[in-house]
Chain A
């Protein structure tokens, strides 16, 4: 019996050590914590600029393939690129955004195809949840007991290994290849072109096609889709214009019309428009940087110029000076 109680105690101690470790002791400064630093920089820009504003919301597709600097210059209104990574749950971004939106603002959402079908559970265990459990537990309360518990128990042994590595690298001053210095004030990724892109050329040539599967794109309606739908409804109620858009992918084959129709229908059901550029946001592989969702900077700017022309006709309210 005593031995059994020792085993029970060992199990209890294990859970306590785990929670202490990931809730207070170790962190991932280069990957997870960086998401917060990037977000802080974006939000600082948003807070320092006048309304009406333009926000780009998506995963890393927003950050790499869209240039708020270009959009801002073309549309004469502040633009904030809110994209960080697809692994950052959209509800966190939307929560941060809601308090910063005002009537007349526009939110353009070129959300990655696979994000629409992300499950509710997966949304609760994104990169933001790891960060929030370590550094900002109070903010997880908005996700309820389940969100808190899932965030607390999302860490595996490799997470611990990576934490050790990242903390050591951070301690000696090594940064990720993408960091605050490779992001402009508006939150766009910059410098991802030329020589640095050459290292990925072969990989991009071989990378699998990123073509959405129409029948699956709106699967799991209670996950990310619900989050997006709630945000669209909120936007409409608060006189914020939310517009869906297509993420940038390879032009191996055109995005199926059925996929576009499905997405248009989704946005329309929640009172939002959906913008489709003539090229369906598709570009030759040579225009991409390191994945199928990341344009090189030169094409990022070209794509943003095209987008600016299309958005110009959809902007609500009178245009105002940038600052």
Chain B
């Protein structure tokens, strides 16, 4: 069930909220039970058999966590906690590895050593990357003594809480469940309800009004590149920038919706985005983009690898490896590996540069840093979006003006000065439906999208009044997409 579907908006959500607070007036436990059941139903809606997988994962991790937290209560002897932790991590990584990486691994093994192993491709269970990381964090926190949870129901609710189940934010038990333990959480609060609904509506607008439109512009370019077509200068840049905007509006929109939904239930989820495209360095970018993933990678990969505790060279190695893990986490493909490696190198170079030059904040440095950061980020997204390295190469060739620079002939008739740079074509392939007005639309929408991400504060910096103003200008467009559009599109991060 997608957050932007009518069944969710007008069926699942109102019923779940209403019953949660009605039950909560009488029994906290009943409300928790209802919310957990509703969350599992929400997950099962896509593909009921995968509910079994989620259930197995929940039961196993609850059990492993219990053994780590309450080993003194167990009447028989247990292996050392470290072994239990390793077994727990291995189980989670096996599930993720089997469903997400086995086919990729076998294909590459066959290609590398000439074997012909055959592996049946299995559909990737929804949200497996997210819930696996969340459960790994739970086990590690249990091992470190940061978590104490006896109740299975509480654990199920933490693991399956539907606002954050599918694509995060990736939360720690210790930041969510104490909230569920407060009685006030089960009392309806108009302010939280309205704040949550406002955030949800604005996140919905980011997704359906902005991201889905940018998807139209980028998909045509990247699909063309995948088909082996030549992509010229302007469509290549438009494809790259459109995807940059699409991914931000899509994923940050999803996160806003998740945070808003949780707030309706009086639960505060951590922020996931903080105007990432305003960053003036790649270090800053990763503090602002998918912040809960960055936090996970820092706490459960980078620091265990040694972090910055063993000198600069090892620090750079650890940064690189951490980002490589981050890349591979996103998907089983060489494009994700390369994307992670690019960011790993960029982060290492950024730290090295800061070490050599100090962290000055001159205007030139901020502007130059911002331009360079965006260049790396956009190039990274080209790799990330492409379905193969060859397709990414096609787009890069276009961006580097190796495939010619064209604009619609009619546009050049209006602005002849552009002929110094561009040649005219009746219709430029992969550019705005290949029409002049389509091209105008693309340029105008990219300008609007860029203005929003570069110039305006994010939703969490705005006052309530400003948010209401944004609802007033976006709500009808959102409803137009949700109710009247021919189809709705899933969130990009659902595929991970």
- A residues within 8 Å of B by Cβ? 1, 3-4, 6-7, 10-11, 13-15, 17-19, 30-31, 119, 121-122, 125, 149-150, 153-158, 161-162, 164-166, 174, 177, 196, 199-200, 202-203, 206, 290
Q: Which chain B residues lie closer than 8 Å to A4 at the CB level? A: 190, 193-194, 197
A6 touches B434 (CB 8 A): no
* Contact between chains at B475 and A10 (CB < 8 Å): yes
- Given that A1-B190, A158-B445, A202-B425 are contacting pairs, would A14 and B472 also be in contact in the complex, using a CB cutoff of 8 Å? yes
Shortest distance from the beta carbon of B159 to any chain A beta carbon, whole Å:
31
Given contacts A7-B198, A10-B468, 18 further A-B contacts (CB under 8 A): A3-B190, A3-B464, A11-B201, A11-B475, A14-B473, A14-B475, A18-B477, A31-B437, A154-B480, A157-B213, A161-B441, A161-B444, A161-B448, A162-B440, A162-B444, A165-B441, A199-B426, A203-B425
Which residues of chain B (309-344) have a CB below 8 Å from chain A? none
**In the assembly, what is the distance between CA of A17 and CA of B409, in Å?**
36
Q: Chain A residues near B474 (CB, 8 Å)?
A: 14
- Interface residues in B417-443 (C-beta closer than 8 Å to A): 424-427, 429, 434, 436-437, 440-441
Asked whether, in the complex, the Cβ of A166 is within 8 Å of the Cβ of B425, the reply is: no
- Complex alpha-carbon distance, A156 and B429, angstroms: 24
Contacting pair A7 B437 (CB below 8 A):
no
Query: Could you list which residues of chain B lie within 8 angstroms of chain A, going by C-beta atoms?
Result: 190-191, 193-194, 197-198, 201, 209-210, 213, 229, 409-410, 414, 424-427, 429, 434, 436-437, 440-441, 444-445, 448, 464, 468-469, 471-477, 479-481, 483-484, 486
Task: Determine the main DSSP class of A at the interface with B.
Answer: helix
Q: Which residues of A contact B213 (CB under 8 A)?
A: 156-158
Closest 7 CB pairs of A and B: A199-B426, A18-B476, A14-B475, A200-B426, A10-B472, A10-B471, A4-B194
Would A153 and B483 count as touching, CB distance under 8 A? yes
Residues of A within 8 A of B477 (CB): 18, 156-157
* Min CB–CB distance B219 → chain A (angstroms): 15
A125 to chain B, nearest CB (A): 8
| Contact partners of A15 in chain B: CB under 8 A | 475-476, 479
Contacts of A19 in B (CB 8 A): 476
Bound-complex Cα distance A203 to B408 (A): 12
How many angstroms from the CA of A272 to the CA of B483 in the assembled complex? 38
**Closest chain B CB from A153 CB (angstroms):** 4
- In Å, the complex CA distance between A158 and B250 comes to 17
CB atoms of A203 and B427 under 8 A apart: yes
Complex: how many Å from CA A51 to CA B193?
Answer: 67
A–B pairs, 5, beta carbons within 8 Å: A10-B475, A15-B476, A149-B484, A157-B213, A199-B426
Q: State whether A17 and B472 are in contact (beta carbons under 8 Å apart), knowing that A165-B437, A200-B426, A203-B434 are contacts in the complex.
A: yes
Contacts of A7 in B (CB 8 A): 194, 197-198, 468, 471
CB-defined contacts of A290 to chain B, threshold 8 Å: 426-427
Chain B contact surface mostly = helix
Shortest distance between the CB of A135 and any CB in chain B (Å): 19
B409 touches A158 (CB 8 A): no
**Alpha-carbon separation in the docked complex, A14 to B440 (Å):** 26
Residues of chain A within 8 A (CB-CB) of B426 are 196, 199-200, 203, 290
Q: CA–CA, A200 to B426, complex, Å? A: 5
Residues from chain A with a CB closer than 8 A to the CB of B469 are 10
Complex Cα distance, B429 from A18, in Å, reads 33
Residues of chain A with a CB closer than 8 A to B191's CB: 3
Q: Using a Cβ cutoff of 8 Å, how many contacts connect chains A and B?
A: 105
On chain B, the residues within 8 Å of A164 by CB distance are 444
Flag if A150 contacts B190 (CB, 8 Å).
no
Pairwise interchain contact A165-B190, C-beta atoms closer than 8 A = no
Identify which of B427, B440, B479 contacts A165 (C-beta below 8 A).
Answer: B440
Q: In the complex, what residue of chain A is closest to B408 when comparing beta carbons?
A: A199
- Contact, CB under 8 Å: B441 / A17: no
CB <8 Å contact, A162 and B437: yes
Q: How far is the CA of A28 from the CA of B201 in the complex (A)?
A: 28
| B483: nearest chain-A partner, CB-CB | A153
> Please, how many angstroms separate the alpha-carbon atoms of A119 and B473 in the complex?
30
Residue from A3, A153, A174, A203 in contact with B484 in the complex, judged by beta carbons closer than 8 Å: A153
Which residue on A lies nearest to B424, using beta carbons?
A199
Q: Which of B197, B409, B440, B468 contacts A199 (CB 8 A)?
A: B409
Distance between A271 CB and nearest chain B CB, rounded to angstroms: 33
A10 and B198 CA atoms in complex are apart in Å by 10
In the bound assembly, the distance between CA atoms of A30 and B438 in angstroms comes to 12
Q: Could you tell me the distance between the alpha carbons of A231 and B441 in the complex, rounded to whole angstroms?
A: 36
Contacts of B471 in A (CB 8 A): 7, 10-11, 14
Q: Which residues of B contact A149 (CB under 8 A)?
A: 484
In whole angstroms, what is the CA distance A206 to B232 when docked? 14
What residues of chain A lie closer than 8 Å to B464, measured between beta carbons? Answer: 3
Q: Which of B410, B436, B481 contacts A156 (CB 8 A)?
A: B481
**CA of A165 to CA of B445, assembled, Å:** 11
Residues of B within 8 A of A203 (CB): 425-427, 429, 434
- Whether A153 touches B480, Cβ cut-off 8 Å, given contacts A3-B191, A3-B464, A7-B468, is yes
- State which of A121, A155, A161 has its C-beta within 8 Å of the C-beta of B480: A155
**How many Å lie between the Cα of A153 and that of B477 in the bound state?**
8
Contact check, B479 vs A153: say whether CB atoms are below 8 A apart. yes
Cβ contacts under 8 Å, B210 to chain A: 157
A30: shortest Cβ distance to chain B, in Å? 7
Report yes or no: B475 in contact with A157, Cβ–Cβ below 8 A: no
A124 nearest CB neighbor, chain B only: B484
Bound Cα distance A196, B194 (Å): 57
Q: Which residues of chain A are within 8 angstroms of B468 by Cβ–Cβ distance?
A: 6-7, 10
Contacts of A125 in B (CB 8 A): 484
A121–B486 alpha-carbon span in the complex (Å): 8
> What is the CB-to-nearest-CB distance from A119 to chain B, in angstroms, rounded to a whole number?
8
Closest Cβ neighbor of B434 among chain A residues: A203
Query: A161 to chain B: which residues have CB within 8 Å?
Result: 441, 444-445, 448
How far is it, in angstroms, between the C-alpha of A81 and the C-alpha of B54 when the chains are bound? 61
Bound together, the chains give a CA A108 to CA B190 distance in angstroms of 63
A121 to B483, CA, bound (A): 12
**Contacting pair B444 A165 (CB below 8 A):** yes
